[in-house]
A and B are shown apart, each in its own frame.
Chain A
Amino acid sequence: MPTESVFTGLSWSPATDVHRLFTDPFMVHALAAGTIVAVMAGVIGWFMVLRRQTFAGHTLSLTSFTGASAAALAGAPLALGYFVVCGLAAVTLAGTADARRGRAFESSAIGTVQALALGLGFLFVSLYHGILTGLDSLLFGTFLGITSSQVLVLLVVAVVSIAAVGVGARPLLFASVDPDVAVARGLPVRLLGLGFLIVLGMSVAETSQITGALLVFALLVTPAATAQLLTSRPLVSVALSIALALVVTWLGLALAYFSIYPVGFYITSLSFALYVVVRVIA
């Protein structure tokens, strides 16, 4: 597992630096992966914020850590661990949504799942001593050593997830803002909720491979929340959410390339700064 030590620093020529940014093979993969992840997080995160499921999203992001550590322990590909465990967690969380018992019941159930996931994750890490050097990158992300086959997996998951959300966009929006009327119109509101959590789980599993389990939030929540502060027109808002996610990802990757700090730090700091600025102005 590589560490974040390809610190190259700046040369004396900005043109050379930019050229290196786009030609270094690992940087090309990182930019491709970052772009895919940002577009997906921008779309899925928008619905997550609208549906007030950020706590569920946060829990899923922690289970992605559990998935990765379980996969490492079992000697399976990390990506498999991310997707399988996040998928299972999404189905579990959908089971906790119970309109009759209300939000408080739901959030305490989600919290219970979160604690279990985190506990299991650290158990797996301690059982598999070898992973300890990679613990940082599981939690805080890495953009090093992304292979072209990983980029392909990311692309396939992103296309499938975004297509699913696109097909269900209107019913999902309807069920999110106005569930009572949506039920009366015959929409499968519970099924839509389950479907969305599974897509969210896939999105989290994918995003956390770049940003790490703890920082997945930066890409899922902040661009979407910022976009929703700026406009209440749904289509404009989604487009803005994607654009903001792209900007912070690209800037974060470029900054991380020329410095010794991890990419997750830059992505979170940039999106936080953006959110604060918009919050103060709007």
Chain B
Amino acid sequence: MSAVSLEGAEARIGGHVVWRDVTVHVERGEFVAVLGPNGSGKSTLVRAMLGLQPLSAGRATVLGGSPGTANDRIGYLPQRHAFDATTRIRGIDLVRLGLDGARWGVPLPGRRNRAAAARVERVIELVGATAYARRPIGELSGGEQQRLLIAQALVRGPELLLLDEPLDSLDLPNQAGVAALVERICKEEDVAVLLVAHDVNPIIAYLDAVIYIAGGTAVEGAPEDVIATGTLTELYGVPIEVLRTSDDRLVVVGAPDLHGHHAH
């Protein structure tokens, strides 16, 4: 059974169709990127999988139920701005909130509390954030914050990871580091990973599939089949060219940004 399965899905925001006829399947242990121009509805797709964005047509199954029914088995990292220096809470506290932040009452000292603390320590070690997990989150760099947020998403041992632009605002070495970390978790823990990205190049080596959203719909397939001149031209409905640079980076040329800010 697929971790995520959408059949002919359609989403509307304020009566306006964001995308329609979206059919995608993500299996456990698969690393899938969600690509597309600004405003094409990448975050809407993630929110639909969490049940936060209702579908106006089509069917969706997430971890065997309708969206929103299994969110405690999903690790979610929303698209966000970094925590600023005034956020006076440690990284380790933020990770702990991911584990039992939805429980009422205060944690009492005891075996259960020690087990929870040990679990938090393990997941922080897994993402390589032990050195700075006890510093205030707002004083950490973007890459350090991102690793702790991934630890927060991982701490409950999720079956599905939904990461909305986790590489955004990171420098290139950090993008590579975080991408490699996500790939390792995906394979070692057999987690289905859906990662929204603006630029496919830092992750392309790890991807099993790509979901490309543009022109009000989406296609899913192997990276080299989707990020190709023919497929993207059909998707956008205007001539698109996919170029490969001498250092093996893919560049999409001619894609109209929905907000018209910059060429892709």
Contact = CB atoms under 8 A, between A and B. Distances in A.
A166 B71 contact: no
A170 B78 contact: no
Interface string A164-179: 0011111101100110
Interface residues of A, number: 27
A169 B72 CA distance: 19
Nearest to A229: B88
B74 A234 contact: no
B74 A178 contact: no
25 contacts: A52-B86, A168-B104, A169-B105, A170-B100, A170-B102, A170-B105, A177-B87, A177-B89, A177-B94, A178-B94, A178-B152, A180-B80, A181-B76, A181-B78, A181-B98, A181-B152, A184-B71, A185-B72, A185-B101, A186-B71, A186-B72, A187-B101, A229-B88, A232-B93, A237-B88
A166 B101 contact: no
B157 to A, nearest CB: 15
Contacts of A183: 52
Nearest to A232: B136
A101 interface: no
Interface residue tally on B, bucketed by range: 20 to 34
Interface string A44-79: 000000101000000000000000000000000000
Contacts of B97: 170, 173-174, 177-178, 181
Given A170-B97, A181-B78, A233 B90 contact: yes
Most buried by A among B89, B94, B104: B89
Given A178-B101, A184-B71, 20 more contacts: A50-B89, A168-B104, A170-B100, A170-B106, A171-B102, A171-B104, A173-B97, A174-B102, A177-B83, A177-B87, A177-B97, A181-B77, A181-B152, A181-B153, A184-B52, A185-B71, A232-B89, A232-B93, A232-B135, A233-B93
Contact of B78 (A171, A180, A231, A232): A180
A232 B102 contact: no
Contacts of A187: 101-102
Interface in B58-92: 68, 71-72, 74, 76-78, 80, 83, 86-90
A109 B97 CA distance: 31
A182 interface: yes
B106 A169 contact: yes
A52 B84 CA distance: 13
Contact of A232 (B68, B88, B101): B88
B230 interface: no
Contacts of B90: 232-233
Interface in A124-180: 166-171, 173-174, 177-178, 180
A208 interface: no
B103 interface: yes
Most buried by B among A167, A171, A177, A229: A177
B239 interface: no
B101 A167 contact: no
A268 interface: no
A223 to B, nearest CB: 14
A181 B86 CA distance: 20
Interface of B: 50, 52, 68, 71-72, 74, 76-78, 80, 83, 86-90, 93-94, 97-98, 100-107, 135-136, 152-153
B101 A171 contact: yes
Contacts of B52: 183-184
Nearest to B90: A232
A186 B93 contact: no
Given A50-B88, A170-B100, A185-B71, A234 B93 contact: yes
A170 B72 contact: no
A170 B71 contact: no
A61 B77 CA distance: 37
Contacts of B104: 167-168, 170-171
Contacts of A52: 86
The 3 closest A-B pairs by CB, nearest first: A174-B101, A180-B78, A232-B136
B89 A234 contact: yes
A145 to B, nearest CB: 37
A209 interface: no
A211 interface: no
Contact of B101 (A173, A180, A229): A173
